[in-house]
Structure formats: C-alpha cells, structure tokens
Chain A
Amino acid sequence: MAVPVSTPSDAVSGHTRDRALWGAIMLAPYVLVFAVMVVYPVAYGLWIGLNWNSYRALFADPIFLRTVFNTIVFLFIAVNLKFAIAMVLSGFFVAQRAWIRFVLVLFILPWAVPSIPTILSFRVMLNPETGMVNSQLFQWFGIVEGPGWLTDPTLAFACSIMVHIWKSLPFWTLILVTGRLAIAQDLYEAASVDGASKWQQFKFITWPSLATLYVTSTMLSMIWTLGDFNSVYLLTGGGPGDLNHVLATLGIRYMRNNNLDLGIASIIVAMPLILPMVYFMVKRLSKAAE
C-alpha cells in the first residue's frame, strides 16, 4: 500500500476541476444581473414588438415621422461637427505647455458634472424673454427682439445639438489627444526637416495615424448620441409643439403616455441602424481586450 504522494501534475488536474467550479460561481453574479436586467426586459420588449399594429400606428403618427427625420439630422450634424472640433482642439491640447494643461482641466468640466444643473442653466440662459443671452444682446447692441432660441423650432433644435456637443466634446477631444500622443514624434521632425507645411503634416502623418481611431470613435459616438435623452428633454422637452423630439425622447414620451407598444416599436425601428454598429464595436472592443 503505497502512500499517495501529491505530485505537481495531481495539483494541476485537481486545479482544473476546482477552476471550472469557481469560474462558474464567480461569473454567476453578473450572469444573474444580466439575465434579470437585460435578457428578460429585452425579450419582453421584443415580444411586445411583435404586434404589427403598433408599427402601423407609429407610421401614421406625424410626430413620429418628424422625429425620424430629426434624429437623422441630429446624428449627422452632432457627430460630424463634434469630431471636426475635437480634431482641431486635440491638436491644440497636444501642445505641451503648463497653461494648456490647466485649460484642459477646465475644458473637462462639462463632461464631469451632471446634466441637470448645466443643461437647465442653458435653458434659463437661452430664454428669449428673460435669459442672459438676449438681455445682453439688448444691453450691448440694442437688439430689442432677440432670437427666439427656444421658441423657434429650428433654433431650438440647433440649441439641443449645441448642448449635446457642449457635453460630449471634452470626452472625444481627450480620446483624440490620447491618439495623437501615440504618434511617433520623429515622423513630424523628419517632415519638418523636409519642409512639410503644418497642413501637409496633418494630411500625411496625423490623419492616417488617427483614421482607425476616428472611425471607431465616430461610430461609438453615433450610438451614444442616438441615446442622448437629456440634451433634448431638459432643454426643450422636445418642443416647441413636439416638433423637436428625437427617438430617445419620443420613445419615453409614448411610454409615459401609457403607450408602451409604440414606445417599444419606436426603438425596434431604430435597430437596423444600431445593431450592425453594435456588432462591429463589440468585435473591436473584444479584440482590444485580448
């Protein structure tokens, strides 16, 4: 009867079993949260969304049609404008100076503070009658009837886009700054020696180096912009006259008016646009985590 000696290989095979068990136990809390908070709600939503009549009602609603148009315009302008500005500003913030680092610290504020006080501050400031903007226009330029920032439908929509950009610009600028910092500096030095202009340096060094990051970022920003409820709801509530809703605020509005079917349907309508992007981004982020 030999005394069993524990060898390293025993330890390893014992460990394999132990690993499978503990792996399952440790993953369980998230799987539970995911099942309860994501899988069931989404399945339930899809089940409600199977009702064909909802879509008929949805497309018969002029507010919905207007909202689809708004959402596309909002996405197109907000994302492109945001990234054009972020691209320029990232070039500014890359300059290594102490005072620029201080400007960066202030520049992050909109992203860091909650939406409620800041977007409501915009709302009061832009009030055509009593707001600071029009009062100052009168003070300095004698303009008695200032623009109806939040009463004119087009202007109000533009202001929502402005607020959205104000809030999300710092984050994406930082992302592009990080991207620029990863570009080898000697490329620029060599280009300078060869007499390349600033614009040529951007065109032949910066842009090609940042292209992938730019595409990934614009896509992610597009998905998140689609879900921006606060910039529209807190500034104008989708008004004036429900002309300025985006899908995010309209879905919630349907739901709060006890019209859950339409709320769900209005989300499902956006899925053909969202899902390919989500799929692409998951692959991207998953690869990044390798």
Chain B
Amino acid sequence: MKKVLDEGKLILIAIPVLLWTLLPIYHLFVLSISSQESMLAGKLWPDAPTLQNFTIVFKQQHYYLTNFWLQMFNSFFIAVATGMITLFVATFAAFAIARLKVKGGRTIMNLALATYLIPAAFLAIPMYKAMGSYGLLNTQTALILAMVALASPYAIWVLKQASDKLPKELDEAAIMDGATSLQLFRLVYLPLMKPSMVVIGIYALLLAWNEYLYAFLLLSNEKAVPLAVGLGLFLSADDAPWNLLMAAGLLYAIPPAVIYYGFRKNMVGGLTSGAVKS
C-alpha cells in the first residue's frame, strides 16, 4: 500500500513538470501544422492539420524564407567551423597547460575562465566594436571567431581536467625513451583524449548552432546569416506568419535536440564533476 502511495506522489509531481516543460514545445508543433485561421483562433489542436507550412518552407515560397536552405547551410557551416577550430585551439592549449606545464599556463587558464564567466551579452558590445576595427563586421569569420572565443575557455577547462587524469608514468617512460613533446602529444595524449574531444567538439558546435545574439549583432546580410537570425526577422513583421516560423523553427531545433540526447551524459558530466568535487 505504501509503495502505491509513494508512486502516486511521484506521478503527482511528474504531471505538472511535464506539462510545464512541454507546453511551449507542443504549442510550437501545433502552430507548425495549423492554417493561419486556426492559429489565430488559439486552438488546442488545429481544425484541419496540414503539412502545407512545411511545403512552403521547403520550397522557400515566402518572403521571409527566400534563403531558408542557404541559412540552414550557414548555420551548419558556422557550427562545424566553430567546433573544429575550438577543438584545435583547446586541445593544444590543454596539452601545453596540463602535460607540458608551460610557464604562465595556469594564468592563461584562469583568464580564460573569467571569459567563460562574464555574461555573454556584456562581452558582445565591445566585441562588436572590435570587429568594426578589424574590418570584419558582417563576415562569417567574425561570428566564428567570436564563438571560438566563447567556447574555448570551457573546452580548455574540461580537457585539462581530462588530461590530468591520464597517468604521469606514460609521459615519464616516453621521455626516458627520448620522446619529443610532439611525439608525446601524438602518441600518448591524442589517442587517450579522444572521448573528451568528441564531447568538446559537440559542445562548441551546439553553442554556435544555437547562438542568436552574437549572430544577430555581427551579421546582417541575409545571404550570410545563420538560420537563427533569419528566423528572428519574423519579429519585425506586424502580422507575422507564425505558423511558418514554427515549421521552420522545428526543422532548426531538431538537430541540436537529437545530438544532445546522444551525448547528454557527457555534456552534463563536464561541468558537474568539477562542481561536485569542490
């Protein structure tokens, strides 16, 4: 009897939690299969569910969606470039700090952590100005660089912790055999760091895919903007076709959701392991 009661209590918590979590997502889905009239009536379920919005999005048959596929590709390109460059920068930096114990490495890591902690919206303003000085405003390079700068600190921090876990004896033995630092990097460090590197690559990729503010500040040419900015343009319309936006938004939200689920254990592990340990 007590068991049943306990289960009942848990279910009573689960129901509001799920309603609260899923309501906006459900609403997003309902709008994406609604006609304009049904949408404006605020129905719980559309009168005549239709896939027409998706057809319009796919064929780019609306003023706001003329560059839908191009912007989807831009999002993809910016995210992949951010992931790869972040991985390159952070893997080397973590190796130099954690294994080579380079002079000033700790200081650099602390400065990097400070970047990670400063609210992103606050860093955006000076960064925008600096991009103007560099003559990079309105280029995808600017956005990729900004995202690399934002993703690297956490990446370095996680990779440093992971590489501290590798046994020191490996390095010592290799050094006795006359291995150079480069050989250590290639033969000892890289093979063992692969799992952490996958997680970090994905972290940076998703950060760039989901980013709105920086993309919206640094890029305005509608042929160059990622999808987040393209969809944000709906905000400027008086009577925006929200059902079309939601259909496009659904397509934009699916890749990160799928990737998160594949890697959710690792994604959370990085930040929490450090937090719980201290």
Which A residues contact B (CB, under 8 angstroms)? Answer: 6, 8, 11-12, 14-15, 18-24, 26-27, 29-31, 33-34, 36-38, 40-42, 44-45, 48, 88-89, 92, 95, 97, 99-100, 103, 105-118, 120-122, 124-125, 130-136, 166, 170-171, 174-175, 178-179, 182, 212-213, 216-217, 220, 223-224, 226-230, 233-234, 237, 247-249, 251-252, 255, 260, 263-264, 267, 270, 274, 277-278, 281-282, 284-290
Contact = CB atoms under 8 A, between A and B. Distances in A.
B24 A166 contact: yes
Given A41-B130, A227-B121, A216 B275 contact: yes
Given A31-B108, A178-B276, A40 B130 contact: yes
Contacts of B96: 22-24, 26-27
Interface residues of B, number: 109
Contact of A178 (B110, B264, B268): B268
B102 A116 contact: no
Given A251-B121, A288-B278, A115 B212 contact: yes
B261 A112 contact: yes
Interface in B222-274: 228, 231-232, 234-235, 242, 245-246, 249-250, 252-253, 256-257, 260-261, 264, 268, 271-272, 274
Contact of B257 (A92, A109, A281): A109
B188 to A, nearest CB: 13
Interface string B187-217: 0000000000000000000000110110001
B216 to A, nearest CB: 9
Interface stretch (B51-59, B60-68, B177-185): B177-185
Contacts of A134: 42
A107 B104 CA distance: 42
B203 to A, nearest CB: 12
Given A37-B145, A103-B18, A212-B278, A224 B119 contact: yes
A116 B231 contact: yes
A22 B181 contact: yes
